[in-house]
Structure 1
Amino acid sequence: MTAPAMTAESFRTCEVTGRKIHRQAELLVRANAVVAVVALLIGAIAALLLVLTRWQAVHLLPADWYYRLLGVHGMNMLIFFIIYFEMAVLWFAGTVLLNARPAAPRFGWFNFGLMLLGTLMVEWAQWTGRADVLFTSYTPLRAHPVYYLGIILFAVGALLVTFQFFATLSIAKKERTYEGSMPLVVYGALTAAIIAVITLVHGALIYVPTFLWSLNLMEMPDPQVYRMVWWALGHSSQQINMAAQVAIWYMLGALTVGAVVLNEKVSRTAFVLYILFISMASAHHLLVDPGFGPAWKITNTSYFMYMAVLASMIHGFTIPAGMELGMRLRGYTEGLFGWLRRAPWGDPGFSALVLSVIIFGFVGGITGVTIGTEQINIVVHNTLRVPGHFHSTVVSGTAMAFMGVTYYLLPLVFRRKVAFWGLAKIQPYLFSLGVLLLAMGMTFAGSFGVPRRHWDISFSNAPYGVEFTPAVDLMLAIMGIGGILAVTGALIFIAIAVKSVFFGEKIETITRGTAMVGVPQGLTHPPVHAADADARNEEFHAPARGWMGPTPGTIILVAVFFIAFVTYYFTNWKLLSFLWKVG
Structure 2
Amino acid sequence: MAVNRNFRTCPSTGLVYHEPAEKLMKWNAVAGVVFLLLGGVLALLVTLTRWPAVHLLPADWFYLVLTAHGIDMLIFWIIFFEIAVLYFAASTLLKCRLATPRIAWAAFWMMIVGAVMNNVAVFKGDSSVMFTSYVPMGAHWAFYLGLIIFAVGALLACFVFLGTLAVGKAEKTYNGSIPLVTFGATTACIIAIFTIASGAIILIPTFLWSVGLVDHIDSLMYKTVWWAFGHSSQQINVSAHVSVWYAIAAIVFGAKPLSERVSRGAFLLYIFFLQLASAHHLLTDPGLTSNWKIFNTSYAMYLAVLASMVHGLTVPGAIEVAQREKGYTRGLFEWLRKAPWGNPIFSGMFISLIGFGFLGGISGVMMGTEQLNLLIHNTIYVPGHFHATVVIGTTLAFMSLTYFLIPTLFRRELMFPKMAAWQPYLFGLGMSVFALFMMGAGTLGVPRRHWDITFAGNALAHEFPGAAFLMMGLTGIAGVAAVVGGGMYIAIAVGSIFFGKRLDVPAARRVAVRDGMAPPPEPAPAIPTGHGTPAAWGLIAPGTFALAMVFLVSFVLYYFVNWKYLSTVWPLS
TM (normalized to structure 1)?
A: 0.93
In the TM superposition, what are the counterparts of 1:33-48 in structure 2 within 5 Å?
33-48=29-44
In the TM superposition, what are the counterparts of 1:449-460 in structure 2 within 5 Å?
449-460=445-456
In the TM superposition, what are the counterparts of 1:55-134 in structure 2 within 5 Å?
55-134=51-130
Q: 2:365 aligns with which of 360, 363, 369?
A: 369
Where does residue 306 of structure 1 map in the other structure?
Answer: 302
How far 1:581 sits from its partner (Å)? 1.0
Flag structure 2 segments of 5+ consecutive residues without an equivalent: 507-523
Letter in structure 2 aligned against 1:69: V
1:303, 1:71 → 2: CA distance? 34
**Mapped contact 1:131–1:147 kept (Cα < 8 A):** yes
Q: 2:352 aligns with which of 350, 353, 356?
A: 356
Letter in structure 1 aligned against 2:48: L
2:343 is the alignment partner of 1:347: yes
Q: 1:286 aligns with which of 269, 282, 286?
A: 282
1:280, 1:358 → 2: CA distance? 23
**Mapped contact 1:258–1:327 kept (Cα < 8 A):** no
How far 1:18 sits from its partner (Å)? 2.1
2:39 is the alignment partner of 1:49: no
2:22 is the alignment partner of 1:26: yes
Where does residue 559 of structure 1 map in the other structure?
Answer: 549
Distance 1:441 1:300, change over 3 A: same
How far 1:472 sits from its partner (Å)? 1.5
Q: 1:243 aligns with which of 212, 236, 239?
A: 239
2:428 is the alignment partner of 1:432: yes
**Mapped contact 1:331–1:533 kept (Cα < 8 A):** no
Q: Deviations over 1:417-459 (max 9, x none)?
A: 1111110000000001110111111111111111111111111
Where 1:129 maps in the other structure, the secondary structure is: helix
Q: 1:232 aligns with which of 223, 228, 237?
A: 228
How far 1:17 sits from its partner (Å)? 2.3
Distance 1:232 1:571, change over 3 A: same
1:165, 1:209 → 2: CA distance? 28
Q: 1:333 aligns with which of 329, 333, 338?
A: 329
Letter in structure 2 aligned against 1:99: K
Structure 1 residue runs of 4+, over 6 Å off?
Answer: 526-533
**Mapped contact 2:29–2:81 kept (Cα < 8 A):** yes
1:316, 1:149 → 2: CA distance? 38
How far 1:169 sits from its partner (Å)? 0.1
Where does residue 206 of structure 2 map in the other structure?
Answer: 210
2:405, 2:16 → 1: CA distance? 15
Paired residues, what number?
A: 556
How far 1:179 sits from its partner (Å)? 2.1
Where 2:458 maps in the other structure, the secondary structure is: coil
Q: Deviations over 1:457-503 (max 9, x none)?
A: 11113212221111112101110011001100001101111111111
Q: Deviations over 1:258-303 (max 9, x none)?
A: 2211111100000000000111111110001111111111111211
Distance 1:292 1:530, change over 3 A: closer
Where 1:132 maps in the other structure, the secondary structure is: coil
**Mapped contact 1:253–1:323 kept (Cα < 8 A):** yes
How far 1:347 sits from its partner (Å)? 0.5
2:494, 2:342 → 1: CA distance? 21
Letter in structure 2 aligned against 1:61: L
2:464, 2:257 → 1: CA distance? 49
Where does residue 566 of structure 2 map in the other structure?
Answer: 576
Where does residue 537 of structure 1 map in the other structure?
Answer: none
Q: Deviations over 1:506-529 (max 9, x none)?
A: 11149xxxxxxxxxxxxxxx9978
How far 1:384 sits from its partner (Å)? 1.0
How far 1:20 sits from its partner (Å)? 2.2
1:258, 1:19 → 2: CA distance? 14
Where 1:359 maps in the other structure, the secondary structure is: helix
Q: Which has the higher contact order (CA 8 A, sep 6+)?
A: 2
Flag structure 1 segments of 5+ consecutive residues without an equivalent: 511-525, 535-539
Where 2:297 maps in the other structure, the secondary structure is: helix
TM (normalized to structure 2)?
A: 0.95
1:390, 1:23 → 2: CA distance? 36
1:339, 1:527 → 2: CA distance? 22
**Mapped contact 1:435–1:486 kept (Cα < 8 A):** yes
Distance 1:414 1:312, change over 3 A: same
**Mapped contact 1:441–1:477 kept (Cα < 8 A):** no
1:310, 1:531 → 2: CA distance? 26
Q: 1:185 aligns with which of 181, 184, 188?
A: 181
1:4, 1:566 → 2: CA distance? 62
Q: Deviations over 1:309-328 (max 9, x none)?
A: 11001101001100100111
Distance 1:542 1:309, change over 3 A: closer
Where 2:135 maps in the other structure, the secondary structure is: coil
Where does residue 516 of structure 1 map in the other structure?
Answer: none
How far 1:218 sits from its partner (Å)? 1.0
Where 1:100 maps in the other structure, the secondary structure is: coil
1:214, 1:530 → 2: CA distance? 57
Letter in structure 1 aligned against 2:263: S
2:249 is the alignment partner of 1:253: yes
**Mapped contact 1:43–1:76 kept (Cα < 8 A):** yes
**Mapped contact 2:206–2:217 kept (Cα < 8 A):** yes
**Mapped contact 2:13–2:525 kept (Cα < 8 A):** no
Letter in structure 2 aligned against 1:558: A
Letter in structure 2 aligned against 1:160: L
2:463, 2:528 → 1: CA distance? 63
Q: Deviations over 1:326-366 (max 9, x none)?
A: 11112211111111111101100000011000010011100
Q: 1:154 aligns with which of 150, 153, 158?
A: 150
Letter in structure 2 aligned against 1:16: S
1:43, 1:153 → 2: CA distance? 20
2:252, 2:412 → 1: CA distance? 19
Where 1:11 maps in the other structure, the secondary structure is: strand
- The Cα RMSD (Å) is 1.6
Where does residue 137 of structure 1 map in the other structure?
Answer: 133
Where does residue 388 of structure 2 map in the other structure?
Answer: 392
1:4, 1:309 → 2: CA distance? 49
Where 2:228 maps in the other structure, the secondary structure is: helix
**Mapped contact 1:348–1:426 kept (Cα < 8 A):** yes
How far 1:531 sits from its partner (Å)? 10
Where 2:186 maps in the other structure, the secondary structure is: helix
2:197 is the alignment partner of 1:201: yes
**Mapped contact 1:355–1:432 kept (Cα < 8 A):** yes
Distance 1:462 1:26, change over 3 A: same
Where does residue 315 of structure 2 map in the other structure?
Answer: 319
**Mapped contact 1:330–1:530 kept (Cα < 8 A):** no
2:159, 2:312 → 1: CA distance? 29
Letter in structure 2 aligned against 1:144: H
How far 1:130 sits from its partner (Å)? 2.3
Where 1:21 maps in the other structure, the secondary structure is: strand
2:120, 2:566 → 1: CA distance? 44
Letter in structure 1 aligned against 2:447: P
Distance 1:471 1:255, change over 3 A: same
1:256, 1:530 → 2: CA distance? 12
2:253 is the alignment partner of 1:263: no
**Mapped contact 2:531–2:540 kept (Cα < 8 A):** no
**Mapped contact 2:67–2:128 kept (Cα < 8 A):** yes
Where does residue 375 of structure 2 map in the other structure?
Answer: 379
Q: 1:472 aligns with which of 468, 474, 479?
A: 468
Q: Deviations over 1:116-150 (max 9, x none)?
A: 00011001001111211111111001111111110
Where does residue 522 of structure 1 map in the other structure?
Answer: none
